[in-house]
Structure 1
Amino acid sequence: MKPFKPSQSVLFTFFVFLSGLSFSQTIKPSGASVTLFFEKVYLFTDRDHYTPGDDIWYSSFLVNAQTNVLTESSNNLYVELISPASKIIDRKMIRLDKGLGRGDFKLGDSIPSGTYRLRAYTNWMRNFGDKFLFEKNLTVYSPDETVSKAVSSAKSDRINFFPEGGSMVEGVSGIVAFKAESNRGKGLGATGNIQAEDGTVITALNTSFNGMGRFLLQPEPGKKYRAVGTYSNGKSFNIELPSALAAGYGLYVRQGDSIFTVTIKTNEKTYASLAKKEVAVVIKNKGKLVSTLMLPLSAVQSSFQIPKQGLPPGISSITVYDSAGRPNCERLIFIEGTERVILDLTSNKAAYTAKEKAAVRIKALDEKGQPVKARLSLSVVDAGLIPEDTQGNIATYLHLQSELKGDIENAAQYFDPKNESRRSQLDLLLLSSGWRDFLWKQLADENLRIAYNPEKGVSVTGRVETKFSAKPVPNSNITLTASGARGNKLFVTQTDESGKFYVDGINLYGYQPVKITSVNSKAVKQGIVFVDTVSVGLLPSIKPLEIESEALLGSDRVAEIDRRKNLLKRQSLSDTLQLNEVVIKSQKKSLILRDLILTDFGYKEEEFVINSSDHDYTDLRHFLTHRLNYNSAVVSDNIRTNRDSGTTEMKPTYPRLIVNNREMPYTDQDAPELIKDYIDVYFGLRMSDVKYVKVKRMVGMDTYSGGSKEVYVVYINVNMNAIGGSEVGVLTRDVQGYYDARVFYEPNYTTPSTRPDVRSTIHWQPLINTNHLGEATISYFNADPKSKIRVIAEGISDKGVPFSGILNYEVR
């Protein structure tokens, strides 16, 4: 879209100052030039409601955040399952190829009910805080347990007010949007009026939908206003509105079929100070400059029109800057894309019998009826048991939810062609939710520091030490051979001054052996090689849930879940496990470490003899997270307070490790990086290499404060040569690569079967490509229950157009 007015040299100079972030911006982190880019990720799950013992299946789409086109900028995606108490209970690193990936989580049979979250991000996304992290709520419900409630911030019912453009200005009439919310953060109906200080009613206040509404107000100089009325739950409210500015601008946007009419208003006081100066009106879309207008204000009110044609799709911002380059007001607008994908799902029958084979045809066309090349995922669920998802889909997420942070109720309604009010409803949403939190404005206001690079594969870090003195071996030539890797299998590097090495870009799945050799400049093997970490880094912080969980399943669904669980229990066979014999020597009540004397103090210890059933855990850290009562104190870094000379200092504390009766050589005074190296080595061990684990909670003297402190001691018995090489200059060790996603179980009923089949997810297909006709066909067998079946497909075209579709049929 071209600029509205001429005077190109003036405009260019102005936008060197104001342009903010753009896709091609180049920055220099630590002296190296990096082209700034942005990624978004979306996870499509087989469903949103689960019970203990279920599997969570997901597929991932990584896109360029400014074009929505699938991107290959990162190959590593971290996906986490977060508990209602905001703790990571499982974490997977999955491989992305051409922006696509897949994975799964297994829910434990005794997992508590409540609202869980899926969180996904790349290493590159961590440069921008939590701006691009994907999160999705999942409800876990057990018939035997009341749904637990998430951590709540004890909020009360409330109304927030959002003057259009940002602020009310004295003597200037304008729109004020508002949103009424319950103490759970959900939209709440409200009825009342706006009153002046003397009680005079100025205008009515009524919500239109989802707790949102708007009213017109012209504040008089020096006066205050209040909203008085009643919520739909019967509670009353009496809330003061924000104060109006004595001088300033108002920005008002009205949407027509083909244009936006923009009006800038001010009062006489502000206009008198302008001296015919210009204001700049800036339009940006996803951080990129779209157009600009230098507007001389020749009266207290000036209007102009913006044609919709030529504006990029999605959310754009209109910002007014004064002559000094200061932003005064901002408004968000939304443009529907001219390109659409129409997804048609059809089944070969309208109804099926139990265990009958179904075939679903997928057809993706553009608005002109031309076939569309697309990538999509598909899930088939029992609609009689699984409630319909109201959190949105890939289109609502990429266009709306990822741009406006916070809970957007029933996001799909804003894009439903059957909803005749969707355009006005979306505009009201942008007036309220968009007013307080707009992604690209947040980024432009921050001083970005690039600390995390895009990852192109699995990375392995380690160190080389002399055999007897454990001193680092610098400048040693390292060769890593990964015979099980896909693609390149040979990698070379050197150790640094600390004897550490780093290898990146390995396409390795599951646990695979790698051979690492260390040689000097004459090709003679040297040092003992250790592997420290595999793709481990500091994780983004987890925000606690601010809303409480709700039981969304009705009594009929609860009864059916219970019936199916009991049926499966009767069919299941008990496993008999043979424990490996491990001889454990008793430990004394006092323990002398290199810097501490610890006392047992009577706390109950926890010990585990590892057997084959434990080998399903990803590693020892994963095992301890699930099995250990002390998991938050042992697996996560603890922070203790040190008060010294009237000051408060936060100090991290870590568990002490005793491996095969040998204390690991670190103390609390050592650098955290050194301590974590040792912890990561052993907590990252494959469970087949672990024989026995015991955790003791002990008490000793804190050398920081002189007082007592708790210390967790972890005793580990491991297989010989599980960590360090026994041969000089050579180490062969299994390392953990990408999570190798399980394959969804598909029964085959071409021959009759009487075995009960009560699956809630009937079929899961994470990656589907349409052919040159825009078509694909999938087939599967239905389950036993007579119920309604829902087929959901979501995906994205080669041109970056997200889409979704739903099909319903019955099993009779």
Structure 2
Amino acid sequence: MLQKLILLSVLAFMNYANAQDKAEQALQNFEQKYPQEKIHLLLNKSNYIAGENIWFKSFVFEGYNRSSVSTNLFVELYDRNKTQISKAIFPLYNGEGNGSLSLPETLKEDVYYIRAYTTWMANFSEDFQWIQPIEVYNPASPEKLISDTTSPWSVTVFPESGTFVHGINTQFAVRLQSNGITPSDWSGYVIDSANPDIKIVSFKGFDQNVGSFNLTPESGKKYQLIVQDNKGIKQNIDLPFVSASGLNLQVKSKTNAITYSIQSKNTPHSSYKVLGTINNQLVYKARISNLSNEKTYTIPTDKLVNGILQLTVFDDKEQVIATRLCFVQPQLLNIKQPSIQNVSLSDIPHETNTFTIAKDPNYSNYSVVVLDEESQSTETEKSLLSTLWLTGDITSKIYSPAQYFGKNHNTEALDALLISEKWKRFDWNTLISGSFPAIRYTPESYLSYKGKVSGPSAGSSALNLISKTDQENGTKLYQIPTDDSGIFTFNNLIFEGTMKFFYQLSGKQKTSNATNVYVQPSYTFIPYKSNLPATNFKLAARTPNEPLPVEVAKAVKSKAFEKSISEKINTIEEIRLTGQKKDDKRKLNQQLSSSLFKSISEDIFDFVNDKNTLVAGSNILQFLEGRVANFQMRMSNGSLTPFLREAPVPVFLNEMKIDPSQITNISVADVAMIKVIKDHFIGAGPGGGRQAIAIYTHQGGEAKLSDEELKQLPGLKSITLNGYSKEAVFNNAVYDNASLKDTGKDTRTNLYWNPYLEVKSDTPTTVRFYNNDDAKGYKILIIGFDENDTPLYYYETKP
């Protein structure tokens, strides 16, 4: 979590009047009531063929931590005309989720757009929603995609902190923009319009986004910037008017501290307030009197985190004078790295490749992708790190933002980029005026429905909803109260596809045939109002018999190969796709535990199917010692208390919280299952919890329906509810059956995809995948988060 740093003085701190504290009060209100979510989607590859599936892993953050605000992710697919092609909804667990979208076979070759958002995000600017352009190829289309290298580019200049004052040496950021691709090789120089043949200062662009230069201006002079690319194309732009008075804020971000200085000319104010914010949180506050041009002020970074710091200077009337964005410790990014061991990679077609991730008790799962070395991941251009630390809060178009947080990243270029930007999450003047976002949408609790019971005695009764499905969870009874008008809500459902619910009123009215139930979802897909962004591609006519680009030709063959594999698998009875076999333990977990007590990381002990595991007379909690990593029973406050990962862990009996001392009253013979939850789950109450021990008896969680009631089910009225969208199965086990190794030309680029690779804390984690026909090297991507939400990020090429 972000740690707060409040410095109450730099020179001489003075108490402010209430009116002068408006900024701090408004910011605190905004931070507490309006948490800011942002999304990153990891796709299984960077481009697709019509008819393929798009697989994705979603990460939803609140600031720099995984979000607990939203439990549903909405994903939509649009064409360039903003016509919606498909939409889907997927669950989020502790800010993470995964799913897939199917591309129709009939899609024309073009750029399409994936939109992802949460209901809570819809209360704020659409600019913060995830919009991902993707290239979809279709050789049958009359038009083809080509890179847009002909669209004109434009240039804009930004003086540091927004001011350009006579006699003050000022740093400028020079920013390039284009609807197509900006030039990679460009330079510029500054002239005085009165002496155009003399170059006052020259510079070379850092990258395709930004360059920088310094200039000490003189009043009365008019300066011009000339920028030229490697094709000789020039752009001229006037620098801002040189002011005879004003204030300039200059900032340097170093490893141990952020330093800043404030220089002024002929300003009427005697004192200033400086506020520093990270992720809408106040982390620095100072009062400066008797301003001196020689003084440099220091903000230690030891209590801050990586992220964008906004420094704002206010005058004594609490008016914004200057602002500046900088990145905290860009030279020292807090990114953890996995230890990759036992690497066994081959370039022989169809061979098995393996590597292991060393055991680490701080992680419960990883997202892992392996690509052919010659292919590209979407992470190459827009990485999780760049979303987390930059583009999730900065909405302007940035070419390849991942470069600012990769290996050998240019910290000088990142700083110049931030000089050219403003903080987009809030505006100080708007906050101080008391204007806050209007909240129209509240987060749902997973799948939620609202309904009404009509008919005699419908009000103030209990409605029995009975689910009966072919899925694992079998038959369950939900008893839901209704108000005087027969209105009810039905929350916290997690299921895929559709589910039928039979209904009846409880008590005397339950057999009434005059009762009807009407239900509608509480969640809704929210229309997208903004324009879709421009892309780096355009369409051109495809000529007859034109050869396909190499990458597209490989993708077409890969699609045919995967179809052939799928057809063969369906004819071989003994082949079972990885992860699809449902064992007795999993069935028991589905039967006994509700959606509120499901977690992405849990250890399950099954005493129904393995009757010899828990012996008579043993203590239920002590049984877990030695079987669950980092679990211990300790004396605490005079009683024996369970600890998991060095913290007391709550105990639930049939999903009701109990004191651990009550466990001794439970008969061992009554225990059906013990589940040790190691990651976020909803059942702990508001906000959920991170870990728990859930004990289930043979009656706990089972549907309490009599034989007679079960016989009545076909005769009861029913409703059908829509659940989450189903995720397509990704086949990592391509050649588990040796007879499949002779199936056509294998040109797959995505060799392994696992958005949730479960980790055992006491053993290494093995990744196993099969080679295609051509790969000589592999790109390996691993993403994870520890309990403090510190990102683990590994993106390397292995020969």
TM-score, scaled relative to structure 1: 0.69
Q: What CA deviation, in whole Å up to 9, does each residue of 1:102-133 have, x standing for no partner?
A: 11112122222222222222212222232542
Q: 1:17 offset after TM fit, Å? A: 1.2
* Distance (Å, rounded) in 1 between the aligned partners of 2:722 and 2:146: 33
Task: Note the 1:609-628 alignment, pairs <5 A.
Answer: none
Q: Which amino acid aligns with 1:249?
A: L
* Distance (Å, rounded) in 2 between the aligned partners of 1:514 and 1:476: 18
Q: 1:203 offset after TM fit, Å? A: 2.8
Give the match for residue 763 of structure 1. Answer: 752
Q: 1:21 offset after TM fit, Å? A: 6.2
Instruction: Tell whether the 8 Å contact from 2:209 to 2:398 is kept in structure 1 after alignment.
Output: no
Instruction: Tell whether the 8 Å contact from 1:461 to 1:532 is kept in structure 2 after alignment.
Output: yes
Q: What CA deviation, in whole Å up to 9, does each residue of 1:706-753 have, x standing for no partner?
A: xxxxxxxxxxxxxxxxxxxxx9x9741222111232322233435343
* Distance (Å, rounded) in 1 between the aligned partners of 2:168 and 2:375: 54
* Distance (Å, rounded) in 1 between the aligned partners of 2:567 and 2:362: 48
Of the three residues 737, 743, 766, the one matched with 2:729 is 743
Q: 1:244 offset after TM fit, Å? A: 3.9
Of the three residues 307, 315, 339, the one matched with 1:314 is 307
* Partner SS for 1:342: coil
Q: Which amino acid aligns with 1:555?
A: P
* Distance (Å, rounded) in 2 between the aligned partners of 1:437 and 1:156: 27
* Distance (Å, rounded) in 2 between the aligned partners of 1:444 and 1:185: 37
Instruction: Tell whether the 8 Å contact from 2:56 to 2:100 is kept in structure 1 after alignment.
Output: yes
* Distance (Å, rounded) in 2 between the aligned partners of 1:752 and 1:155: 51
* Distance (Å, rounded) in 1 between the aligned partners of 2:293 and 2:750: 61
Q: Is 2:373 aligned against 1:395?
A: no
* Distance (Å, rounded) in 2 between the aligned partners of 1:245 and 1:765: 57
Q: Which amino acid aligns with 1:340?
A: I
* Distance (Å, rounded) in 2 between the aligned partners of 1:170 and 1:489: 77
Q: Which amino acid aligns with 2:498?
A: Y
Instruction: Tell whether the 8 Å contact from 1:165 to 1:330 is kept in structure 2 after alignment.
Output: yes
Of the three residues 262, 282, 287, the one matched with 1:289 is 282
* Distance (Å, rounded) in 2 between the aligned partners of 1:87 and 1:375: 37
Of the three residues 520, 524, 529, the one matched with 1:541 is 529
Q: 1:803 offset after TM fit, Å? A: 2.8
Q: 1:207 offset after TM fit, Å? A: 2.0
Unaligned runs of 5+ in 1: 28-34, 366-370, 575-726
Of 172-181 and 194-203, the range deviating more from structure 2: 194-203
Q: 1:165 offset after TM fit, Å? A: 0.3
Q: Is 2:550 aligned against 1:561?
A: no
Instruction: Tell whether the 8 Å contact from 1:395 to 1:803 is kept in structure 2 after alignment.
Output: no
Instruction: Tell whether the 8 Å contact from 1:375 to 1:768 is kept in structure 2 after alignment.
Output: yes
Of the three residues 749, 770, 779, the one matched with 1:781 is 770
* Partner SS for 1:560: helix
* Partner SS for 2:399: coil
Give the match for residue 17 of structure 1. Answer: 22
Relative to structure 1, is the Cα distance of residues 150 and 245 closer, same or farther in structure 2, using a 3 angstrom cutoff?
farther
Of 242-251 and 793-802, the range deviating more from structure 2: 242-251
Instruction: Tell whether the 8 Å contact from 2:345 to 2:353 is kept in structure 1 after alignment.
Output: no
* Distance (Å, rounded) in 2 between the aligned partners of 1:331 and 1:293: 16
Instruction: Tell whether the 8 Å contact from 1:175 to 1:216 is kept in structure 2 after alignment.
Output: yes
Of 194-203 and 52-61, the range deviating more from structure 2: 194-203
* Distance (Å, rounded) in 1 between the aligned partners of 2:525 and 2:560: 42
* Distance (Å, rounded) in 2 between the aligned partners of 1:466 and 1:58: 45
Q: 1:564 offset after TM fit, Å? A: 4.6
Give the match for residue 175 of structure 2. Answer: 179
Of 85-94 and 343-352, the range deviating more from structure 2: 343-352
* Distance (Å, rounded) in 2 between the aligned partners of 1:766 and 1:299: 55
Q: Which amino acid aligns with 1:768?
A: L
Of the three residues 341, 345, 352, the one matched with 1:350 is 345
Q: Which amino acid aligns with 2:7?
A: P
Q: 1:312 offset after TM fit, Å? A: 2.8
Give the match for residue 508 of structure 1. Answer: 495
Task: Note the 1:613-762 alignment, pairs <5 A.
Answer: 731-745=717-731, 746-753=733-740, 754-756=742-744, 757-762=746-751
* Partner SS for 2:529: coil
Q: Which amino acid aligns with 1:511?
A: T
Instruction: Tell whether the 8 Å contact from 1:149 to 1:548 is kept in structure 2 after alignment.
Output: no
Instruction: Tell whether the 8 Å contact from 1:129 to 1:540 is kept in structure 2 after alignment.
Output: no
Q: 1:295 offset after TM fit, Å? A: 0.4
Q: 1:527 offset after TM fit, Å? A: 5.3
Instruction: Tell whether the 8 Å contact from 2:7 to 2:285 is kept in structure 1 after alignment.
Output: yes
Q: Which amino acid aligns with 2:340?
A: L
Instruction: Tell whether the 8 Å contact from 1:191 to 1:206 is kept in structure 2 after alignment.
Output: yes
Instruction: Tell whether the 8 Å contact from 1:265 to 1:302 is kept in structure 2 after alignment.
Output: no
* Distance (Å, rounded) in 2 between the aligned partners of 1:26 and 1:440: 10
Give the match for residue 158 of structure 1. Answer: 154
Instruction: Tell whether the 8 Å contact from 2:447 to 2:494 is kept in structure 1 after alignment.
Output: yes
* Distance (Å, rounded) in 1 between the aligned partners of 2:508 and 2:223: 80
Give the match for residue 400 of structure 2. Answer: 410
Q: 1:159 offset after TM fit, Å? A: 0.6
Q: Which amino acid aligns with 2:84?
A: I
Q: Is 2:333 aligned against 1:325?
A: no
Of the three residues 48, 60, 63, the one matched with 1:62 is 60
Q: 1:221 offset after TM fit, Å? A: 3.3
Relative to structure 1, is the Cα distance of residues 99 and 15 closer, same or farther in structure 2, using a 3 angstrom cutoff?
farther
Q: Is 2:787 aligned against 1:798?
A: yes
Of 18-27 and 114-123, the range deviating more from structure 2: 18-27
Task: Note the 1:239-638 alignment, pairs <5 A.
Answer: 239-268=237-266, 270=267, 273-274=268-269, 277-299=270-292, 302-336=295-329, 339-346=334-341, 348-363=343-358, 372-386=362-376, 389-419=379-409, 422-432=410-420, 435-441=421-427, 444=431, 447-463=436-452, 478-483=463-468, 490=478, 492-494=480-482, 502-517=489-504, 526=514, 528-533=516-521, 535-549=523-537, 555-564=549-558
* Partner SS for 1:454: coil
Q: What CA deviation, in whole Å up to 9, does each residue of 1:52-74 have, x standing for no partner?
A: 22221112223332x42x34332
Instruction: Tell whether the 8 Å contact from 2:386 to 2:401 is kept in structure 1 after alignment.
Output: yes
* Distance (Å, rounded) in 2 between the aligned partners of 1:125 and 1:528: 35
Q: What CA deviation, in whole Å up to 9, does each residue of 1:744-776 have, x standing for no partner?
A: 223343534322344332221110243335842
Q: What CA deviation, in whole Å up to 9, does each residue of 1:601-629 have, x standing for no partner?
A: xxxxxxxxxxxxxxxxxxxxxxxxxxxxx
Q: 1:252 offset after TM fit, Å? A: 0.8
Give the match for residue 92 of structure 1. Answer: 88
Q: Is 2:37 aligned against 1:43?
A: no
TM-score, scaled relative to structure 2: 0.70
Of the three residues 64, 77, 81, the one matched with 1:81 is 77
* Distance (Å, rounded) in 2 between the aligned partners of 1:239 and 1:212: 15
Unaligned runs of 5+ in 2: 541-546, 569-712
Of the three residues 218, 221, 224, the one matched with 1:220 is 218
Q: Which amino acid aligns with 1:78?
A: F
Percent identity, aligned pairs only, is 21
Instruction: Tell whether the 8 Å contact from 1:476 to 1:494 is kept in structure 2 after alignment.
Output: yes
Q: 1:101 offset after TM fit, Å? A: 1.6
Relative to structure 1, is the Cα distance of residues 776 and 250 closer, same or farther in structure 2, using a 3 angstrom cutoff?
same
Of 530-539 and 307-316, the range deviating more from structure 2: 530-539
Relative to structure 1, is the Cα distance of residues 287 and 436 closer, same or farther in structure 2, using a 3 angstrom cutoff?
closer
Instruction: Tell whether the 8 Å contact from 1:127 to 1:448 is kept in structure 2 after alignment.
Output: yes
Instruction: Tell whether the 8 Å contact from 1:360 to 1:779 is kept in structure 2 after alignment.
Output: yes
Q: 1:489 offset after TM fit, Å? A: 5.0
Instruction: Tell whether the 8 Å contact from 1:84 to 1:149 is kept in structure 2 after alignment.
Output: no
Give the match for residue 209 of structure 1. Answer: 207
Q: Which amino acid aligns with 1:776?
A: T
Q: 1:799 offset after TM fit, Å? A: 1.3
Instruction: Tell whether the 8 Å contact from 1:192 to 1:229 is kept in structure 2 after alignment.
Output: yes
* Partner SS for 2:122: helix
Relative to structure 1, is the Cα distance of residues 491 and 534 closer, same or farther in structure 2, using a 3 angstrom cutoff?
farther
